[in-house]
Structure 1
Amino acid sequence: MQDRDRLDGRRALVTGGSRGTGKAVVRRLREMGADVWTTARTMPAGYELPDRFIQADTSTIDGVKTIAARIAEEGPLNILVHVTGGSSTPPGGFTAASDEHWLAELDLNLLGAVRLDRALLPAMVEAGAGAVVHVTSIQGQMPLHDATLPYASAKGALRTYSKGLANELAPRGIRVNTVSPGGIETEGYDDFVDRLAGGNDVTPEQAKQMIFDSLGGVPLGRFATTEEVADLIGFLVSDRASSILGAEYVIDGGTTPTT
């Protein structure tokens, strides 16, 4: 790889890095040479770099404080990637989503990123350079109403927040971009399929087809892999993307209709 592809000497934090897309992003940034920290609620058994793992829940105020305090001990970040997200709202439409479901989804998918940015970005601004990526979702534009309306709403808000943040921080040397995946083959996706299947009394394969149908189909014929999403994020935090900011990159196999 050429120098502009490398991240040697840069410190990164990836939230939700214990599995799925976050795990793939951690691996990709390390391959590019970065010193990568990650955080999640639970450290996986046998995690290869336990000194680079911060056990914390980004959906809570105390969890964000724990992460910020540990990172502050090492100095400012160069790269911050928010991958943490998910949905636990039961199927059944908008009436099935209680206040507790809404608040949980907002804390996990929106406010965790907002709080962590507020805690960590001032040091990045003081250093005068850095790259931030927020992982949102095409559900911000194509919400699935049956079970993930709170999730979709939170991700839509994260998209709006990211665009405003990009405008504010660009003159200070910080690039903020968003990556909006469609379906991704992860453990979280498998959990959602099982939940949808159970709630509708169908098989997992039928539940997957329901998801495809609700999206209007996926022209590529498959969902993205975690490695493909990680490659895109690796590009966005590299010097090859040095003039890209305030952008939203959709990686969905053509799911989102174009005009």
Structure 2
Amino acid sequence: MTTADTDSRVRDFAGKRVLVTGGSRGIGAAVVRRFLDADAEVLTTARSRTSTVPEGAAFVEADVRTQAGVKAVAEAAQEALGGVDILVNNAGGARPFKNALAIPDEEWQDQLDLNHLASVRLDALVTPGMRERRSGAVVHVSSAAVPTSAPAFLHYTATKAALQNYSRGLALELAPFGVRVNAVSPGRTATPGGQATREQYMSLAEGAGQDDIIPPLGRDGRPDDITDAVLFLASVRASWLTGRNLTVDGGEFPVG
């Protein structure tokens, strides 16, 4: 990164109040670090604190799958930051099943709560302040796999598809108030959570090739590849973008 790039990011985010969910590891932790490097004030959250939570970020332990957990996060953001200028809804995840019909009802509900309703609920608590200030940015982290609807992950891709649709609608509602809403959809990315999920799938699929799939650009994504997209959409450089879904997947999914 050049000095000019660094200076630009500091100008974009210095003093900004940023809330990132799921920031204890992987993509979320990378996003938190980059905002901290740009002199933003950052609060992040996860179900438990780990040694990989970036130093310098405020932290609240909460389960955003629940209404109580989301409320605790919003209250912590108000207390620690005094408000939120940038919200990154990154918390999410899934575990694969043998096929779509094997996914139990409780797993569908869990995925709905984690991958969709957590964002809906937190947006409802955080964006009114942005509306009042007539300024703000929301970034939802979705998935590049949405168009494939793979049976083993159908509960995951269905809820992420709902997140994309909701994101576009919220963007239309908040645009007149100067608040932008966009989504980033990562493809296969080298993170501990992603690797664990791939190993689970390989076990279910009896080793059927998943580990041999390499995106056309020749490597798995890195957390910073996704972070670049998140920070761009949150920055003033994307001030004419709202309601968009930016797929970052190395060409892995040629549709969507």
Fold shared by both chains (TM-score > 0.5): yes
**Superposition CA RMSD, Å:** 1.9
Cα offsets for 1:96-124 (capped at 9, x unmatched)? 10101100111110000000001111111
Is the CA contact 2:89–2:141 (under 8 Å) kept in the aligned structure 1?
yes
What secondary structure sits across from 1:185 in the alignment? coil
Q: 1:248 aligns with which of 245, 249, 253?
A: 245
Q: 2:68 aligns with which of 39, 45, 62?
A: 62
Q: 2:88 aligns with which of 54, 76, 81?
A: 81
Shift of 1:258: 5.2
The separation in 1 between residues aligned to 2:26 and 2:230, in whole angstroms, is: 14
The separation in 2 between residues aligned to 1:67 and 1:150, in whole angstroms, is: 25
What secondary structure sits across from 2:148 in the alignment? coil
In structure 2, the residue matched to 1:140 is 146
Shift of 1:37: 0.8
In structure 1, the residue matched to 2:194 is 189
Is the CA contact 1:76–1:127 (under 8 Å) kept in the aligned structure 2?
no
Q: Aligned letter for 2:86?
A: I
Shift of 1:257: 1.9
What secondary structure sits across from 1:177 in the alignment? strand
> Would you say 1:227 and 2:232 are equivalent positions?
no
Shift of 1:218: 2.4
Identity value in percent:
41
Shift of 1:200: 2.9
The separation in 2 between residues aligned to 1:248 and 1:137, in whole angstroms, is: 10
The unaligned stretches of length 5 or more in structure 2 are none
Is the CA contact 1:184–1:223 (under 8 Å) kept in the aligned structure 2?
yes
> Would you say 1:5 and 2:12 are equivalent positions?
no
1:118 to 1:136, Cα distance in 2 relative to 1, 3 A = same
Report the TM-score, using the length of structure 2 for normalisation: 0.91
Is the CA contact 1:29–1:36 (under 8 Å) kept in the aligned structure 2?
yes
Shift of 1:182: 1.0
Counterparts of 1:40-189 in structure 2, within 5 Å, are 40-45=46-51, 47=53, 49=55, 52-73=58-79, 74-88=81-95, 90-145=96-151, 147-189=152-194
Shift of 1:236: 1.3
Is the CA contact 1:137–1:181 (under 8 Å) kept in the aligned structure 2?
yes
Cα offsets for 1:99-154 (capped at 9, x unmatched)? 01100111110000000001111111111101110011112212221x21000000
Cα offsets for 1:67-98 (capped at 9, x unmatched)? 1111122422110001111002x421111101
Q: Aligned letter for 1:174?
A: V
The separation in 1 between residues aligned to 2:54 and 2:157, in whole angstroms, is: 33
Shift of 1:244: 1.2
Report the TM-score, using the length of structure 1 for normalisation: 0.90
